[in-house]
Each structure stands twice: as structure tokens, then as C-alpha cells.
Amino acid sequence: MDSDSPAEEHNAARQWQGVPTMQPTREPLDAVRVPARATQINVFRHPSHVLLEHRERLLNQRPATVWLTGLSGAGKSTLAYEMERRLLGKGSLAFVLDGDNLRHHLNRDLGFTAQDRHENIRRTAEVASLMNDAGLIVFSALISPHRADRAMARAIIGDERFVEVHVSADLQVCEERDPKGLYGRARAGLITHFTGISAPYEAPEDPALRIDTSQLDLHQSADQLMSYLCERGLVQ
């Protein structure tokens, strides 16, 4: 937190805006034990003066997170960046949250255990939710192998904004593609917790859309997803 006295900072801001101050009940500072992890104690929400409807009119689109899930090599990132390119070409504002890119930055401290994967999804969903609040259409390209973690992402982002898309190329096709050489390393035991080889993948049971990239090329896959977004009224 930026201030030693967050409640005082908050009250000062409210006075500046002409809003009555809030007086939280709390123990004296010398009696408060600061937990090891951050909490929501003495943290207040600051509502925006700009409504989402204003952003939607400005951008001529409705915010959403298209959550692309599937095995490594299925084509999630390729499809996400193609959709970003197309939407920007149409005058819509979109952004890709790519799993590998996030692991170079925001999620660089996480591995691939079930617990770390869970936190990886949580952080990504929180970022996607903030981007949706700003009016953007987000394409999240992560393996996200566990149904429970994807359900958590849906809960964070909101059911009305969350679009689960299964990029459904099967394991054999993905392993034959192996664009990053990861399957070969996983088969050789050089990579642990690798989805599809040494870790499970739980396919969506009822996704909004299923795109089989073993049957459709990139152009066809993007056409299918674009048609769905237009039918949902997310883009014009």
C-alpha cells in the first residue's frame, strides 16, 4: 500500500470530492498485528465517475473475455492474435493475454504445479476483468487445464462477460505440430507437469464455442469465432 494511513488518505480524497468521510472502527496501530499477506483491512473501493455504458458508446463494443483453452500446440495464441488483428482492423479495441507472455512478467514467479496453475489463472482473470472494466475485448490464451480453475476465472470476470472457447485439436495433432519442441522434451522426461503427457487436461463440458483446429485452418477458425462474437452483439 502507498500510505501508512490508508483510511486517512481515503478520507482526505473523499473530502476533496465533497463526500462525507468514512470512520472505520479499528484498533490502535500498536495493537494491530500486520499479517504476512495483504488483506482488505482498511482498504476502500473508489468508484469511477465514468459508467461502463459511456465506454461502450465510445468504443462501439461490449467488453468481454474470450477464454481460449486447449492443449499446447492447439493454436490458442495464434487464433487470439489473429482475432486481435481483425478487431483492431474493424476499429474495435482488443488485447491478448497470452499465457507464455504473462509468465515472463506478471506470473514469472509461478511454476506448473496445480497450485501454481490455479494462481496463474486467478491473476490472469483479475487482469482480464480490469481490462473489461476499461471497455476492452480480451482474448486470454492459456492452457488452463482444470475445470475448477476456469470456473474460478468465470466467477472473477462475470458470467455475462466470460466466453469459454475450447480450441480442441487432440493430443496427437498437437504433438505432431509441437511448434516449441515441448512434447518431445516432455516425453523424454525433461519437463514435468506437462499437460497431456504428465498432467491432465479437463476439456470443457459445455463451452460457448468449440473450434477444432485440426479440421479448420486459421482463417476458418477466426471466421467462426468472429461470427459468434457478432451474434452475441459484442462487436459490430
CA distances from 211 to 29, 68, 138, 184, 204 (A): 55, 10, 18, 25, 12
Say if residues 126 and 206 touch (Cβ distance below 8 Å). Answer: no
CA–chain centroid gap for 107, Å, is 12
Q: How far apart are CA 203 and CA 147, in angstroms?
A: 7
- Rounded CA separation 9/44 (Å): 10
Q: Please state, in angstroms and rounded to a whole number, the distance separating the CA atoms of residues 103 and 179.
A: 18
Which grid coordinates belong to 235? 462487436
> What positions carry a catalytic annotation?
144
CB burial of 11-34 (b: ≥16 within 10 Å; e: otherwise) equals: beeeeeeeeeeeeeeeeeeeeeee
How many CB atoms neighbour CB 201 within 10 A? 17
d(CA 236, CA 228): 11
